[in-house]
Structure 1
């Protein structure tokens, strides 16, 4: 029984997946933070591009 407990405590199979999940969570939080900070600027740029493509003075 003691050997089983030692083996259980030293088992590291799930550790890699937990680390990947943690890194992915940190990246997701960072992306959301950047979108909150720069959201208005990104929307403004997309509006400029859309306006350039839908310019009324451009020939059809």
Structure 2
């Protein structure tokens, strides 16, 4: 565990670590937007797929 902590700390202190932190923040923002979109549109998408499935059933 200490090795992982030291490796992560060294990555965050150096400039390469700054890039890593920026990518982590970008990933978190994209994930947050994706979760929000699924939450808001999830019911509508399910309804559309149910309507499509209903059109194919006899």
So what's the TM-score if we normalise by structure 2? 0.67
Instruction: Give aligned pairs, total.
Output: 47
Runs of 4+ residues over 6 Å off in structure 1: none
* CA RMSD across the alignment: 1.9
> What SS class does the counterpart of residue 36 from structure 1 fall into?
helix
Question: Which of 25, 31, 34 is residue 31 of structure 1 equivalent to?
Answer: 34
Aligned to 1:19: 22
The alpha carbon displacement at 1:53 in A equals 2.6
**Higher helix proportion:** 2
* Structure possessing the higher radius of gyration over alpha carbons: 1
In structure 1, list runs of 5 or more residues that go unmatched. 1-9
Q: Distance in 1 between matches of 2:47 and 2:18?
A: 43
What is the TM-score when the length of structure 1 is the normalising length?
A: 0.66
